């Protein structure tokens, strides 16, 4: 048995990584379909040495598709994912559109694969900044409980898509080579493509990712709060985030403070993280060993270091968490969900359609 | 009455800024003396349109000097500051060497100018990352008290000196223009000139500033803890820091979480910060207004925004604090201390010598 897999948003920053992750996947793939907007349709991409022509996504695109990976923005998922489910596919959606829907599991396979068992045709992949934090903190939560999380992120521009990467490279060339004053650089994308104003990122740190909500937190920050509660299945966990974009192309870093329910000895915390699937301990101050964004790029794991006691709070711990936002933060976590669905024999048409066609 | 002022470390990243700040200072200056190591002695620098030849620092350099600004590393201050005091000068030291000495006031003029009154010839300028946090938090502490601080920094490379700036520019050119993989870039300075290993900063975030101490915090992190307690004159304030270098040339950003002793309404916190000397409120999410490093460069003020309640802790507040690390973080704060000494009539020889000659 082998699947027909579709990638929706195949030409984007995450879509192209999804194709690479599928090439290296254990998933039995008979056929790969690449879908996109009309703008990118007609392009040719490679999969395992074969040319595949990108097709425009339509309501009829999903006939015969077993697994559809979506990463083309929330409005595309909102419109087409229900058609994919109706056609018998299982959808793994990398956008935020369905994440808080109670009928949709929100899954980091190392943390809550069991949630897949109750799927209704759509599984949501969490936000990049949430996923890596979950991989690092779940082993701590399992042993000592989690009371609260305060996180400040150092996020890469690739989370805002391929055009944000190009914008950043152009700005840096203008600032470093052409001598343009960083505050005079022009920007069209960051901090959020859909917002009113745009700011340059070269030699800057932008304390805005996505647009602001009514409570003066950004959507990115509220995603970290709400998704953590859903994935860890605990509405009582306190989570407040400050999400910041920095001039890094790929791999997010996070400065995370937690308070555990029970006192957690640091040596045991390190052991628990080191032995957790998907997590790699990189923590030896005497040898200057700690996670670095440039070393995480291209890797599937989440790297954790700088683990140390708070100087005052007996149950407080600080750590530094780094992972490739395009891989574990998006493409790999989505493909890993597909692999897990296959392993659990959960790739099958959904009869009770919960998601109305629009 | 006008002073003879000496700048020790005149050719460095901070020293050159000190000269500019002195040019724009209200301090009556009759003569400026520029001192450095033997390596830079003989160079010529400009002050108010006049050429000044840089002299080598010796034990005899300070005859006739009224005010000596030191920024040439801790060992230079350790050796020569006592000679300057003995010669009758008042020393403003920008290094960490004397900061925890009980005979040395550690001063941010907006916060604790009164501590200058008890000086013994040497006044210490706090660490850059501490200073801007003090300017933002002192108005909050005055009205509602401060229970604890958790801070994650986004620090510019200029804090590591002129060579770190050159290293960063070279790496960025190699990565952006020449296409070198960021993890293959060579580094000689960062994260800490005096440490064993060096890592590239282009497209990276380095969770190490200065070397590590025995408790797995870095010296930079412990400076934020210890200096906050000394400046705010409260050993009970809880402070834990994570200090991170990012690819920004100048201006540090900080994600700061505080818990106040009394509940502080956000609107009143914003008003208190806006009306505090040296602080500028930049906080309007509806207009995407928040402090940015590129806008803070060249300014003396500390910019504060993203002020919002913690989502759970009734006394918890988050904010984003940005300032030019070379100006308020070093050169301007040092010159401002000198101005304040002058205003308070405290520029005079010290008779009771507390700092032994070496």
Whether residue A63 lies within 8 A of chain B, CB to CB, comes out as no
Residues in chain A: 358
Chain A positions touching B316 (Cβ under 8 A) are: 240
Nearest-angstrom CA–CA distance, B30 and A246: 44
Q: What pLDDT is stored for residue A1 in this prediction?
A: 81
Nearest-angstrom CA–CA distance, A278 and B9: 49
Please answer yes or no on whether A242 and B318 come within 8 Å at the CB atom.
yes
Q: What pLDDT is stored for residue A280 in this prediction?
A: 99
Residues of chain A below pLDDT 50: none
Q: What pLDDT is stored for residue B140 in this prediction?
A: 98
pLDDT exceeds cutoff 90 at B243: yes
Chain B positions touching A308 (Cβ under 8 A) are: 215-217
The CA distance from A269 to the nearest CA of chain B, in Å, is: 15
pLDDT exceeds cutoff 90 at B342: yes
Q: What is the mean pLDDT of residues B165-175?
A: 98
Please answer yes or no on whether A246 and B205 come within 8 Å at the CB atom.
yes
Say whether B159 counts as a known binding-site residue.
yes
Interface of B with A in 220-239 (CB under 8 A): 225, 238-239
Find out whether B85 and B355 touch, Cβ atoms under 8 Å. yes
Whether residue B144 lies within 8 A of chain A, CB to CB, comes out as no
Q: What is the mean pLDDT of residues B252-257?
A: 99
ipTM score assigned to the predicted complex: 0.97
Chain B positions touching A287 (Cβ under 8 A) are: 197
Active-site residue among A119, A125, A243, A252?
A252
- The SS3 call for residue B225 is helix
Say whether B228 counts as a known binding-site residue.
no
Nearest-angstrom CA–CA distance, B300 and B287: 24
Predicted confidence (pLDDT) per residue in B132-158, tens digit: 999 999 999 999 999 999 999 999 999
Active site residue B198: no
CATH number 3.20.20.80 is the correct assignment for the domain at A130-325: no
Q: Where are the domains of chain B?
A: 3-126+331-343, 130-325
Q: What does the block give as tokens for B331?
A: 């050169």
Say whether B245 counts as a known binding-site residue.
yes
* Residue B59 pLDDT grade (very low, low, confident, very high; cuts 50, 70, 90): very high
Q: What pLDDT is stored for residue A27 in this prediction?
A: 98
Mutating which of B152, B243, B266 best tests the A interface, going by the most A Cβ atoms within 10 A?
Answer: B152
Q: What does the block give as tokens for B339?
A: 């101005």
pLDDT exceeds cutoff 90 at B1: no
Nearest CA in chain B to A290: B207
Chain A positions touching B240 (Cβ under 8 A) are: 257, 310-312, 316, 318
Torsion of Cα atoms, B69 then B75 then B79 then B84, to 10°: 0
Whether residue A316 lies within 8 A of chain B, CB to CB, comes out as yes
- Using alpha carbons, list the distances in angstroms from residue A113 to A118, A124, A339, B167: 10, 12, 11, 45
Q: What pLDDT is stored for residue A358 in this prediction?
A: 82
How many helices (H) and strands (E) chain B has is answered by: 9, 14
Sheet holding A3-8, edge to edge: A55-56, A29-36, A3-8, A67-70, A90-93, A122-124
Query: Residue A116 gets which letter from DSSP?
Result: G
Chain A positions touching B296 (Cβ under 8 A) are: none
Chain A positions touching B212 (Cβ under 8 A) are: 285-286, 288
Mutating which of B156, B193, B205, B307 best tests the A interface, going by the most A Cβ atoms within 10 A?
Answer: B205
CATH number 3.40.50.720 is the correct assignment for the domain at A3-126+331-343: yes
Q: What pLDDT is stored for residue A102 in this prediction?
A: 98
Active site residue B128: yes
Say whether B294 counts as a known binding-site residue.
no
Interface of A with B in 182-211 (CB under 8 A): 182-183, 191, 195-197, 199-200, 202-208
Q: What pLDDT is stored for residue A108 in this prediction?
A: 98
Find out whether A8 and A71 touch, Cβ atoms under 8 Å. yes
Predicted confidence (pLDDT) per residue in B202-230, tens digit: 999 999 999 999 999 999 999 999 999 99
Q: What pLDDT is stored for residue A214 in this prediction?
A: 97
Whether residue A310 lies within 8 A of chain B, CB to CB, comes out as yes
Whether residue B318 lies within 8 A of chain A, CB to CB, comes out as yes
pLDDT exceeds cutoff 90 at B358: no
């Amino acid at each position: 048995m082998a699947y027909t897999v579709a990638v929706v948003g195949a030409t984007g920053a995450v879509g192209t990584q999804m194709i690479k992750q599928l090439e290296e996947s254990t998933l039995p793939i008979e056929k790969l379909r690449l879908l996109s907007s009309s703008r990118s349709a007609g392009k040719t991409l490679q999969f395992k040495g074969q040319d595949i022509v990108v097709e425009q996504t339509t309501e009829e695109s999903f006939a015969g598709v077993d697994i559809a990976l979506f990463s083309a923005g929330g409005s595309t998922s909102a419109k087409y994912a229900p058609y994919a489910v109706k056609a018998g596919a299982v959808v793994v959606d990398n956008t935020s559109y369905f994440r808080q829907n109670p009928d949709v599991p929100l899954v980091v396979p190392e943390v809550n694969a069991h949630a897949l068992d109750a799927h209704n045709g759509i599984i949501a992949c969490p936000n990049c900044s949430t996923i890596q934090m979950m991989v690092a903190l779940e082993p701590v939560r399992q042993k000592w409980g989690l009371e609260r999380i305060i996180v400040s992120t150092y996020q890469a521009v690739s989370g805002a898509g391929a055009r944000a990467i190009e914008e950043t490279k152009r700005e840096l060339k203008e600032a470093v080579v052409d001598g343009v004053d960083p505050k005079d650089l022009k920007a069209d994308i960051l901090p959020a493509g859909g917002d009113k104003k745009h700011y340059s990122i070269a030699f800057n740190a932008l304390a805005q990712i996505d647009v602001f909500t009514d409570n003066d937190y950004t959507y990115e920050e509220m995603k970290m709060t709400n998704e953590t509660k859903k994935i860890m299945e605990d509405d009582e966990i306190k989570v407040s985030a400050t999400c910041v974009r920095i001039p890094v192309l790929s791999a997010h870093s996070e400065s995370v403070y937690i308070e555990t329910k029970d006192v957690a000895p640091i040596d045991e915390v390190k052991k628990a993280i080191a032995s957790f699937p998907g997590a790699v301990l990189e923590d030896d101050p005497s040898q200057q060993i700690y996670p670095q964004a440039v070393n995480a790029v291209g890797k599937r794991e989440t790297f954790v270091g700088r683990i140390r006691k708070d100087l005052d709070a007996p149950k407080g711990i600080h750590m530094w968490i780094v992972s490739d936002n395009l891989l574990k933060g998006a493409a790999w976590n989505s493909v890993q969900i597909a692999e897990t669905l296959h392993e659990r024999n959960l790739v099958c048409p959904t009869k009770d359609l919960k998601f109305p066609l629009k």
